[in-house]
Structure 1
Amino acid sequence: MFGVLLVHGKPEAYNYDGEVTIALSDWYHRTAHENELWHLSKVARGVPPYPDSGLINGVGRYPCPYAKIQGRPCDTTLQLRPVFQFQRNKTYRVRLLNTGAVAAYNFSIDGHSLQTIEADGIDVRTPIVADIVPIAAGQRYSFLVRCNEASNNGSRYLIRANLRKESLLLIDGWNINQYPEALMGDVTAVLQCVDKDLSQQASRAVVTTEQHTCDDVVPPRSGSEDLIYLDEMALAPLDGISAPDHVDEDFMVSAVFFEGPEDNIRRGAFNYTPFKLPDDEPLLMKVIDGKSIADAYHLKIEYGSVVQLVINNPFFGPHPFHLHGHHFWIMGMGEWYDGDYDPSRHNLTVNGVKRDTVVVQEQSWAVIRFVADNPGLWTFHCHIDWHNLSGMSLVFLEGKEIVRDQIKVPEEAQRVCNLHSRSRDPHRFTHKSSTIKRGSINRHVHL
């Protein structure tokens, strides 16, 4: 199960008449447990389970002949795609999210440009116009869209979320998904322009569905040679604040895959150390209690410092890396096969995009910078679920003394932990309930 949570924490930076939310995802016919067991086995060799379908707002399609081979039911009357109705003289905010486990997409709307106004919750200073927007797992964007001048009442335009199969991997053609060729990467919805007054919809676009089966052919997009891809680095934040021009703490990590000597299972890791969740107390509780946590799993940073992280990806596949608790400036990023970061030949900028998820391309690099202004224990991980599962994660321990002295475990968290651990030690957790207050913002513990 998943859903979309919209947080309105400040006045709108741009005017629009209505809005619509589009959630992209991938879909598996096997259970999460089956996929996890396979991925954490020797035969997987670090390759994620190959998805069966791409979905828009939870609906999509799959070839029935392949379903029949597997003994699965396949009813084409239940294969759908969304239809979004826009009033022709209105401007709409399109909120786009990639909630998938692994798949990246190229998003576009035929006959329309996308004015990008937000990335990962950060408003953009000037709308950046693009025809195609690449979006990786965990990333979010907002666009302003208005039915073009050539539209009439009832005009229809394809919304395309082309699943980027080149980012999906197979080893010798083998995967838990025995039919990867059945994946239909041309995932679509429809933008329908209408004259009727939609004002009674509480500023929301009207969303319906229509039948779209595995037998329907998606027409190619015309004029593809002139399409403009989004220049992510041009998305300067609205507040005009650039990245700090100095660095207090500098770290370098490499995203790697390797076979551990204990079980010969190929795992994801940073610097050849796969992250492992504790089997007793959560890490935050250990810090609050003054207990030690493994040095290999965390990077200790001082509260208020400027932190720079160099991320190298020397192996196969791109990685969307996500940081909890902060937004960061992307100082620079390489193209595919650009090699590790080298300050002698790679330039950085303080005026790059600010967001919380950065894609590091295959055999390439990225450099991010953030201000450590939020005490806590914050995860930094690959947003491909399978890589995170196998260990491509670490935590920033930020303001250790502040965490230990001022953050306490809320009563509800204590109650749940006691229930979980009662069979071992019913008196393990004895913390008092409180919150840490900084300025006018109450910050509750993120477990």
Structure 2
Amino acid sequence: MAKASTLGVWLLLATLAFVARAANVTVNWDITYVYNVNPDGLAARWVIGVNGSWPIPAINVTEGDLLILSVKNSLNVSTSLHTHGMFQNGTGYYDGVPGVVQCPIQPGQSFTYRIPMQQHGTYWIHAHYKGQYGDGLRTALIIKPKAAEVYKYDQEYTVVLSDWYHTPHDDLMVWFMSPYNPTGSEPIPDSTLINDNSDNSTFAITAGKTYRFRLINVSLMPSMFISIDGHNMTIIEVDGIDVQPYTVQSFAITTAQRYSILVTALNTTTQNFQFHADTDPSMLDFPDKCTKPNATATLIYNATAPTAVMDRVPWNMTFNDMELVPVVPVAAVDPDTSFELNVILNVFDDASNHATFNNIVYAAPPVTPALWTALTMGPQATDPTVYGQNSHPLVLQHNQMVQVVINNLDVKGHPFHLHGHVFQVVFRSTEAGQYYNSSIVIPPQPNPVRRDTVIVPGTGSAVLRFRADNPGIWLIHCHIEWHFEAGLAATFIEAPLEIQSRIAVPQELSNFCTNNGFKTSGNAMGNNGTDLTGYQLTAQPLSGNFETKGIISLVVTIVVALLGLGTVVWFGHHQ
């Protein structure tokens, strides 16, 4: 009894200590333009920063804290912010996707996100509006655990990896969607950056100590290969999930993914060593156009010592994140429902290249954000029709085990991110042309890797599973920003009846929407039932037959050709 009593007292004290540590962490951001920024040393341009400066400082909090992110939009365009990787259980209205769970923060307006830190690990905050994070509106979010860390280390560094463009994102997006880009080639980044610098970042290292490096890829597009000259790296975290130690010499990190690695310093102070982040050239149509595809930082053992010149570690193309084993085991179970999402990139009837799931060009609801449709449509909230076809709504029942099959019909790999959840990756193809079908047997898996962003290889597939235990409206989308804006997304309407009974949206959020011209009741058009009068579909696939405009163009071309030929013949006869 004495031991039990002592244990009870210890648990009470631990609980009280945690409550005492939990705090409201207030961060004030005035989102502004910052001019004459030149992170790669090649060209100065404006960026989007906060409080008049850039880069934006990382946010560090503790599990159990409440992050109060108070935002003023001092841009001349709208914006919104997404806390990437946060479950937002019960607070999905702060997930930051405009037209889905909030209304955009228009110029001159202020908005406050109140986000409970329900997890620990490595995350980031970024704009979820028209690719603004590519113009600089992004930073790291580091959440320390309320208990002791799983792994011991002496010090840690946060490493933000990014592509960088000398041309603003909106201008590049116009070109990307233009009919004058018929092959759909994505814009080529000008440089690769480490902590917003191409080759001057440093990490102070003491011989014999162990360091945690938290890596975050915030790029608009490419994956990167990571290596450190003369050092092994031991992966201990992936997308906020602690994993069993996995030692590599190099590995790939795709856009939106996060890894933590442990690096034990050498017992030497005679040399310094380079940290490499190399852009994956296979993701670029014209890799030679990238001026600085590879960035370096330096591990400084001794400020007066030379930097070691070493043979490069080969890119570990065989690294397989599916071999990572979570510390907290969760067994895979058979799904209750399954959705097949086929990745299709093609020219649509607006003469632009679009990226889609199942040939549906995604767009957010135009009048009523999907969250308010789910809240106000009663039993009809379970009918995907009321959310509008453009949002590609997929309705989930509460606590179902959901399986998502992604068949990537494109020749390039795509990173897919799910909001509000981590998923288990229970299958991924290992060879080109391997699409998932029912003949492929997925064996029992006691503890498959869990993460929130996965790369699906070109002409390949992946099978993801997650429990629908977080009522809310959650996007699944490609995190190559060019593809997301071109339509490669779908919307999970998760447990809409539970949304109605459990989610209480603060009145200030509803008022914010109505004051900006949006409706907070009814279907996607703000009407009752399935009356979607006025709803316009996004671009549609070409029929494969001659369209009217095509026929007219062909006829005009033939007439002009005949007139030209007749003119040549006439001149020939009159010489």
Question: What residue in structure 2 maps to residue 318 of structure 1?
Answer: 413
Deviation sequence 1:197-242 (CA, Å, 0-9, x none): xxxxxxxxxxxxxxx9xxxxx96634649x6953311211111222
Which of 135, 160, 169 in structure 2 is aligned with 1:23? Answer: 160
**1:10–1:359 CA distance, 2 compared to 1 (3 A):** farther
Separation (CA, whole Å) in 1 of partners of 2:208 and 2:309: 27
Question: What residue in structure 2 maps to residue 131 of structure 1?
Answer: 249
Deviation sequence 1:7-50 (CA, Å, 0-9, x none): 23443111111100001001111111101212222223432211
Contiguous gaps of at least 5 residues in structure 2:
1-136, 523-575
Separation (CA, whole Å) in 2 of partners of 1:42 and 1:220: 46
Separation (CA, whole Å) in 2 of partners of 1:307 and 1:109: 39
Question: What residue in structure 2 maps to residue 298 of structure 1?
Answer: 393
Question: What residue in structure 2 maps to residue 233 of structure 1?
Answer: 322
**1:154–1:298 CA distance, 2 compared to 1 (3 A):** farther
Q: Is 1:43 the counterpart of 2:173 in the alignment?
A: no
Q: Is 1:353 the counterpart of 2:449 in the alignment?
A: yes
1:53 positional shift: 0.7
SS at 2:297 equivalent: strand
Structure 1 stretches of 4+ moved >6 Å: none
Separation (CA, whole Å) in 2 of partners of 1:223 and 1:399: 48
Question: What residue in structure 2 maps to residue 418 of structure 1?
Answer: 514
**1:222–1:25 CA distance, 2 compared to 1 (3 A):** closer
1:89 positional shift: 2.4
Output aligned runs, 1:405-444, within 5 Å: 405-421=501-517, 428-429=519-520
Deviation sequence 1:298-333 (CA, Å, 0-9, x none): 111111110111110011211000000111110011
**Kept in 2: contact 1:130–1:229 (CA 8 A):** no
SS at 1:230 equivalent: coil
**Kept in 2: contact 1:315–1:362 (CA 8 A):** yes
Separation (CA, whole Å) in 2 of partners of 1:180 and 1:223: 22
Separation (CA, whole Å) in 2 of partners of 1:37 and 1:193: 46
**1:9–1:325 CA distance, 2 compared to 1 (3 A):** farther
Q: Give the residue type in structure 1 aligned to 2:454.
A: V
Q: Give the residue type in structure 1 aligned to 2:327.
A: L
Q: Give the residue type in structure 2 aligned to 1:136.
A: T
Deviation sequence 1:398-427 (CA, Å, 0-9, x none): 111011233232233224323322xxx7xx
Deviation sequence 1:184-206 (CA, Å, 0-9, x none): 222111112259xxxxxxxxxxx
Which of 182, 186, 204 in structure 1 is aligned with 2:294? Answer: 186
SS at 2:497 equivalent: helix
Separation (CA, whole Å) in 1 of partners of 2:317 and 2:223: 18
Question: What residue in structure 2 maps to residue 5 of structure 1?
Answer: 141
SS at 1:44 equivalent: coil
**Kept in 2: contact 1:131–1:228 (CA 8 A):** no
Output aligned runs, 1:354-433, within 5 Å: 354-421=450-517, 428-429=519-520
**Kept in 2: contact 1:269–1:392 (CA 8 A):** yes
Q: Give the residue type in structure 1 aligned to 2:154.
A: D
Question: What residue in structure 1 maps to residue 61 of structure 2?
Answer: none
**1:183–1:86 CA distance, 2 compared to 1 (3 A):** same
1:251 positional shift: 1.2
**Kept in 1: contact 2:190–2:290 (CA 8 A):** yes
Q: Give the residue type in structure 1 aligned to 2:411.
A: F
Question: What residue in structure 1 maps to residue 311 of structure 2?
Answer: 221
Q: Give the residue type in structure 2 aligned to 1:260.
A: F
**Kept in 2: contact 1:303–1:372 (CA 8 A):** yes
Separation (CA, whole Å) in 1 of partners of 2:356 and 2:443: 26
Q: Give the residue type in structure 1 aligned to 2:344.
A: V
Q: What is the TM-score normalised by the length of structure 2?
A: 0.61
Q: What is the TM-score normalised by the length of structure 1?
A: 0.78
Q: Is 1:271 the counterpart of 2:358 in the alignment?
A: yes
Q: If you compute each CA radius of gyration, which structure gives the higher value, 1 or 2? A: 2
Question: What residue in structure 2 maps to residue 168 of structure 1?
Answer: 284
Q: Give the residue type in structure 2 aligned to 1:158.
A: Q
CA RMSD after TM alignment: 2.5
Separation (CA, whole Å) in 2 of partners of 1:81 and 1:390: 35
Question: What residue in structure 1 maps to residue 212 of structure 2?
Answer: 93
1:334 positional shift: 1.3
Identify which range, 394-403 or 346-355, moves more after superposition: 346-355
Identify which range, 292-301 or 346-355, moves more after superposition: 346-355
Output aligned runs, 1:243-262, within 5 Å: 243-244=332-333, 246-261=334-349
Identify which range, 398-407 or 266-275, moves more after superposition: 398-407
Separation (CA, whole Å) in 1 of partners of 2:163 and 2:422: 26
Q: Give the residue type in structure 1 aligned to 2:252.
A: P
Question: What residue in structure 1 maps to residue 372 of structure 2?
Answer: 285
**Equivalent residue pairs, number:** 373
Separation (CA, whole Å) in 2 of partners of 1:346 and 1:8: 39
Separation (CA, whole Å) in 2 of partners of 1:100 and 1:59: 14
Contiguous gaps of at least 5 residues in structure 1:
61-79, 171-178, 196-211, 213-217, 432-447
Deviation sequence 1:62-110 (CA, Å, 0-9, x none): xxxxxxxxxxxxxxxxxx4201011112211110010000011000111
**Identity between Structure 1 and Structure 2 (%):** 32
1:148 positional shift: 2.3
Q: Give the residue type in structure 2 aligned to 1:129.
A: T
Q: Give the residue type in structure 2 aligned to 1:166.
A: S
SS at 1:38 equivalent: helix
**Kept in 2: contact 1:168–1:317 (CA 8 A):** no
Separation (CA, whole Å) in 2 of partners of 1:221 and 1:284: 54
Question: What residue in structure 1 maps to residue 48 of structure 2?
Answer: none
Identify which range, 348-357 or 85-94, moves more after superposition: 348-357
Separation (CA, whole Å) in 2 of partners of 1:224 and 1:169: 22
**1:374–1:329 CA distance, 2 compared to 1 (3 A):** same
**Kept in 2: contact 1:243–1:370 (CA 8 A):** no
Separation (CA, whole Å) in 2 of partners of 1:168 and 1:412: 44
**Kept in 2: contact 1:131–1:230 (CA 8 A):** no
